[in-house]
Amino acid sequence: MLYLDAAATTPVRREALEAMWPYLTGDFGNPSSHHTVGESAAAALETARAQVARVLGCRPGEVTFTSGGTEADNQAVKGIALANPGPRHIVTSSIEHPAVEESCEYLVRHHGFRVTRVEVDGEGLVKLDALRQVLAVGATLCTIMYANNEVGTVQPVAGIAQIAKEYGVPFHTDAVQAAGWEPLNVKDLGVDALSLSGHKLGAPKGCGALYLRGRLHTEPLIHGGGQQRGLRSGTENVAGAVALATALRLAEEQRVQTVGSVAALRDRFIQSVLDGVDGAMLTGHRSSRLPSIASFCFPGTSGESVLLELERLGVVCSSGSACAAGSDEPSPVLTAMGIEPAIAQTAVRFSFTSAVTAAELEAAADAVVTAVATVRGLR
Ligand code: PLP
């Protein structure tokens, strides 16, 4: 089976598994316990925090461990908005992950905020002139994802952060898909808050992290024993934090080399699919895209049928985001990019880890050509 659905989740890296193992077994302590077993867990947690902080270029105290990307996004959007309501206006994009989109909707429903979703162009890039106009009105928070999970388009995050700063608006970015592929130094990016998730990077599901710039006020969403400076109560997932820190550190160490080689493989794969499938359309930006994602629409098919056919041929991938799986609605991300709903229904996303090989992607491209032809009734 060829797994080409890394944007949904990745297998746990051996190094991450080995690093977390002691904290599930011998050093299983609760980091809040005042004895040596607890102290050992607390030390591991703080080492993990420092490792994440090193990759992000921030202070360890600015990193909070969460249960994943969804919680990090919720904490950033709701936490910043509730602590600094100001004009009660959230500015976001029309292609955000539901973790951000639904957090904004919650603020509308329960706290009297309004939300402006800045449009994207046909390749998924946020329209910067429109963003400026919206921010000029005044906003509580601007939240725009770093890289899109369905089409892989990478936003000019440093430029967007600069614009938000000009208007004095705090800026959060969901870097869940960008992590491991794009630079994450929060000072260079100029972001005030940034979300990460472990399982897209080779750590287990259920662990994530949120960077919050030191002086930014935030309302905690989870109340309890006051762990993590009172920002995120609950006994910390020590093993998960250790695995996340390990996977993030390794991804960052290997990033520059990996990006070049995987992007070259991705481009060859894209070309083979476009050459082999009549009418195939690449979605997302041609160059400003994650090395790990190639997504297409195949007019004259349905994405779900192509997926089934590909699975029969030994390739697993996705018809859009895993979070929207099971829904018959065309992807809101693709329709926001101006793709007709009937064409958006034909979307298929291929996404890979840095371990992908040329031979795998050649086999995948052949399978795509066969699968689409079968679904179109040509074979
Ligand atoms: N943000 C983006 C862009 C994602 O792709 C995902 C997961 O698909 C999430 C947030 C949610 O992360 P998690 O699955 O860790 O809750």
* Interval 357-378: pLDDT, tens: 999 999 999 999 999 999 999 7
Ligand 1 and 197: CB distance under 6 A: yes
197 C-alpha to ligand 1 centroid (Å): 7
Are 246 and 291 within one domain?
no
What does pLDDT average to in each consecutive run of 10 residues of the chain (379 residues)?
97 98 97 96 98 98 98 98 96 98 98 98 98 98 98 98 98 98 98 98 98 96 97 98 98 94 97 98 97 97 95 93 58 96 96 96 98 89
What is the reported pTM?
Answer: 0.97
Are 342 and 320 within one domain?
yes
Strand order in the sheet with 208-212: 63-66, 208-212, 193-197, 171-174, 141-143, 89-93, 114-118
Are 346 and 262 within one domain?
yes
Task: Pick the last residue of a domain from 194, 220, 251.
Answer: 251
State the pLDDT at residue 319: 87
Are 272 and 357 within one domain?
yes
70 C-alpha to ligand 1 centroid (Å): 6
In CATH, what number is assigned to the domain containing residue 324? 3.90.1150.10
Integer CA distances (angstroms), 379 to 124, 371, 373, 374, 376, in order: 34, 9, 6, 5, 8
71 C-alpha to ligand 1 centroid (Å): 9
CB 104 within 8 A of CB 54: no
Ligand 1 site-directed mutation target among 9, 65, 66, 70, most atoms within 8 Å of CB: 70
Q: Which residues constitute the domain of residue 202?
A: 14-251
Kindly report the CA angle at 124 between 55 and 121, in degrees rounded to 5? 140
Are 205 and 67 within one domain?
yes
Task: Pick the last residue of a domain from 251, 277, 305.
Answer: 251
Ligand 1 and 145: CB distance under 6 A: yes
Are 232 and 280 within one domain?
no
Task: Pick the last residue of a domain from 251, 286, 306.
Answer: 251
Are 245 and 336 within one domain?
no
State the pLDDT at residue 329: 80
Are 345 and 360 within one domain?
yes
In CATH, what number is assigned to the domain containing residue 148? 3.40.640.10
Ligand 1 and 69: CB distance under 6 A: yes
How many domains does the chain fold into?
A: 2
Q: Which residues are catalytic?
A: 323
pLDDT, one tens digit per residue, over 119-163 is 999 999 999 999 999 999 999 999 999 999 999 999 999 999 999
Query: Which protein residue's CA is at the shortest distance from atom 14 of ligand 1?
Result: 69
d(CA 266, CA 164) in angstroms, rounded, equals 33
Are 122 and 202 within one domain?
yes
- Rounded to a whole number of angstroms, the CA Rg of the chain reads 21
Are 328 and 353 within one domain?
yes
How buried is 308 (Cβ within 10 angstroms: 0-12 exposed, 13-18 middle, 19+ buried)? middle
CA 76, 51, 229, 65 torsion: positive or negative? positive
